Amino acid sequence: MSKVKIITTEDGSHSLYHEELKETYHSFHGALQESKHVFIEKGIRFWRNKEGLPDFLKVFEVGMGTGLNALLTAQLAKENNISIEYTTLEPFPLENELISQLNYPDQSDDPKLKEIFKRIHQVAWEEPIELYPYFQLTKHRLKLEDYKIGKEQFDVLFFDAFAPNKQAELWELSALKKCYSLLKRGGVFTTYSAKGQLKRDLKSLGFEVETLPGPPGKKEMVRGVKQ
Ligand X SMILES: C[S@@+](CC[C@H](N)C(=O)[O-])C[C@H]1O[C@@H](n2cnc3c(N)ncnc32)[C@H](O)[C@@H]1O
- 9 touches ligand X (CB under 6 A): no
Q: Find the part of the chain contacting ligand X (CB under 6 A) among 157-165, 181-189, 201-209, 217-225.
A: 157-165
Q: Which of 30, 63, 187, 215: binder of ligand X (CB under 6 A)?
A: 63
Measured CA to CA in angstroms, residue 31 lies from 60, 63, 95 at distances of 20, 15, 19
CB atoms within 10 A of CB 18: 18
Shortest Å distance, C-beta 15 to ligand X:
7
Identify whether the C-beta of residue 177 lies closer than 8 Å to the C-beta of residue 224.
no
Q: Find the part of the chain contacting ligand X (CB under 6 A) among 45-53, 59-67, 74-82, 219-227.
A: 59-67
**Per DSSP, what are the bridge partners of residue 209?**
224
Dist CA 197 CA 175 (whole Å): 14
- 62 touches ligand X (CB under 6 A): yes
- 25 touches ligand X (CB under 6 A): yes
Q: Find the part of the chain contacting ligand X (CB under 6 A) among 44-52, 85-93, 177-185, 216-224.
A: 85-93
SS3 content of the chain, % helix, strand, coil (to 5): 35, 30, 35
Residue numbers of the site for ligand X (CB under 6 A)?
1, 25, 35, 62-66, 68-69, 89-92, 143-145, 160-162, 170
